[in-house]
Structure 1
């Protein structure tokens, strides 16, 4: 196998030599530079597996190299070395696209570990997922990321970007929006996908057990400690540690967590020495951590470390155009689990009722509603009455503009010619109207070779409106 080729950039000859010797012993090929200009000349002349650069250089900052790599679309992983205690520089480097960072004086053991991690060389053998709760089924993992709304597209775009680095990510959103699923998606799109994903609900652990659960303990450390036990950090070594509801951690534990993140090592309860850990930290909260910091309930320095990149997961009420798609996916999954065939569908009235509800519990609440509706409907169609939503709850705290755009009636257009009402209206009028609307949409789509933009324009609809209707009526892109 060809040795990985690395570029080391540092203006101090002694340190540069130390890094070179350390990496040569690991079997890497090394080029070195003492300035931004020298480094750029080498980068323009050849390719590297990774670039290791000091932040402070005689003719500029190591960030200039990161920006050049980004603008040139280069694949090299970038590792940045910052001055001790310069958290601002570390955060700035991660935001600029650095894979990871080290602080001076550099611990050579940690140096080898971080470089190996960037090149995918030091992760432990793949093991089964370890977490504090049962893993979510694969279908459920993707479920809440379904949709074509601008809000959810932005989330997916951010996931793709942040998955490539070691930068800490804070996922913020209301309960039930799918914060853990976003964290899983980051893990599954990154280099650590074959390693452990350890999910921890910080609010579910008693305060007196937090340290032992997070860092592990040694036999005899306290009453009941009959054997050594690893903590969450050790369990996630080589993989990803997801700290859900991080805002619920007490201040004393926040201080200990900050030290572990900074030092990249843990000391189990009852142990005399620390052990290095190589984990990527993802965290989530439904709280406004900025306000928690202002109120003195959350450490500012820990917030600074965790909030390098923030992903906000939108509530369901902000992406109503995805409601039909999500509902169809939920119904397909629950019908399959229940052995119900064919999968029931929502009538137009049911979907309109759902679009008028604020969903304080977001997608999780939608799932519960559809579970109940499936049981009550007992047929191929789910109507508004099956949802069990009282009129008093509809439109509460909501403006008409949030859903009016999705509910514009289809105009009578040339594509509807040939469709006429029967002499006697059917008993299931809602279902009949759905079928009529479906026929109109299909005819428009076929006339425009399934170009949704052109078909929508012929019907006087926007692209978003026709997408919404296609999802609600289960019309696929190439249906004939």
Structure 2
């Protein structure tokens, strides 16, 4: 039984480079077509089902990035790689922003080229995998559907991704999902909490050291970059990096190489960089606390993870999942929240987001009786009887992601829930308390998905 060989398109007007890439790919059992112009490339793209496309930037009749943009739009399943001038990271970043799978600098490094081709063919020619992430990133809200759709696209790239979001929203889970859905899933996913490593040990932890590099260095030690080689390096709380490490990290990203402490030799590494923080990196750049050039390199693509306040309709699903996980072991009967407790959770501000929800439910399991969690079992902050706190002050100030309609709906939902709880969920009494008709209250309950 024979297997069809992958097919690549090489676009460059320099015959020597085309021949070098073609010979390298043929040794990897990849067949090739060659084009010297954008016009020839478009013709070939229309005639063949390619598994990989490698294009130079400057071509006689245009720019390779334009071809990347139009091809990614028409054939998002085709990995596009770009050949860039040596040391020109700005061009490489532009290519990645345009949708390129990866880049390789001139003069072409054959080792990097082989890694690039291997990753691209695994995506387009390898076995298909189930890319659904609904069972990992729970929630049917529009915000979570958008996140999962974006992750499916990001998984097909090696571009650095900056994951922003409040504490407890699940930024590391998002990063791990991007890794698991991509071609690097068989390689390591290495998370680093940049705020948990002492400053004096940071360089050694990141890049490793050689024996005798400093007192106590009794043997060679591999750094986290090397441990993640071929896979993904997740830099959590990257805002905590001191200035001297920001410089060294920038060099490692640009050169795709690290130098262990005490060594004179650089070691090539092939890692995808994902980073995250709950702080506003843009503001830190403006304040001079974070390097602008590093921010530019890691922020090729930004992915904002929504707070729990922005996806309240997911709370019942999250509650069921967390309670199922916490009570899944043993023969204990299932535990449920009554309507009042669920209403309190839906009205609560959740400054700690999903992580806080998990902690609240774990505590409530200990306090509840009869397998039913009551509002008082939740012990929500500032509310000893389980009444939800006023969340209007907890809503963030308007920014790029702010939606007035969502904010007003949240405030309206909180007021309605408080009225229902105060009247024991008597809708007629709640409507009187709110100063509206019973019919108006029913309309609001339907509009707010609270029926």
Change (3 A) 1:381 1:324: same
Farther off after superposition, 60-69 or 369-378? 60-69
What TM-score, normalized to structure 2?
Answer: 0.83
Change (3 A) 1:43 1:462: farther
Q: Does 1:226 align with 2:218?
A: yes
Residue 270 of structure 1 aligns to a residue in which SS? coil
Return the offset for 1:24.
3.1
Question: 2:446 and 2:232 mapped to 1: Cα distance?
Answer: 39
Q: State whether residues 321 and 464 of structure 1, in contact with CA within 8 Å, keep that contact through their aligned partners in structure 2.
A: no
Residue 221 of structure 2 aligns to a residue in which SS? coil
Return the offset for 1:462.
8.2
Tell me the number of residue pairs that the alignment of Structure 1 and Structure 2 aligns: 404
Unaligned runs of 5+ in 2: 124-132, 395-406, 418-422, 427-441
- Show the counterpart of 2:404: none
Question: 1:112 and 1:380 mapped to 2: Cα distance?
Answer: 58
- Show the counterpart of 2:410: 402
Q: State whether residues 160 and 300 of structure 2, in contact with CA within 8 Å, keep that contact through their aligned partners in structure 1.
A: yes
Question: 2:215 and 2:264 mapped to 1: Cα distance?
Answer: 18
Change (3 A) 1:404 1:351: farther
- Show the counterpart of 2:109: 107
- Show the counterpart of 1:154: 146
- Show the counterpart of 2:372: 381
Q: Does 1:23 align with 2:31?
A: no
- Show the counterpart of 1:238: 230
Of 251, 257, 275, 2:249 maps to 257
Q: State whether residues 409 and 448 of structure 2, in contact with CA within 8 Å, keep that contact through their aligned partners in structure 1.
A: no
Return the offset for 1:104.
2.5
Unaligned runs of 5+ in 1: 122-140, 410-428, 434-458, 470-480
Question: 1:60 and 1:400 mapped to 2: Cα distance?
Answer: 49
Residue 162 of structure 2 aligns to a residue in which SS? strand
Farther off after superposition, 270-279 or 210-219? 270-279
Change (3 A) 1:464 1:301: farther
Question: 1:386 and 1:84 mapped to 2: Cα distance?
Answer: 62
C-alpha RMSD of matched pairs (Å): 2.7
Q: State whether residues 144 and 326 of structure 1, in contact with CA within 8 Å, keep that contact through their aligned partners in structure 2.
A: no
Change (3 A) 1:147 1:228: same
Change (3 A) 1:461 1:194: farther
Residue 336 of structure 1 aligns to a residue in which SS? coil
Q: State whether residues 196 and 236 of structure 1, in contact with CA within 8 Å, keep that contact through their aligned partners in structure 2.
A: yes
Q: State whether residues 143 and 326 of structure 1, in contact with CA within 8 Å, keep that contact through their aligned partners in structure 2.
A: no
Return the offset for 1:238.
1.3
Task: Give matches, 1:208-357, under 5 Å.
Answer: 208-337=200-329, 339=330, 341-357=332-348
What TM-score, normalized to structure 1?
Answer: 0.78
Return the offset for 1:284.
0.5
Question: 2:286 and 2:315 mapped to 1: Cα distance?
Answer: 36
Question: 2:446 and 2:253 mapped to 1: Cα distance?
Answer: 46
Residue 211 of structure 2 aligns to a residue in which SS? coil
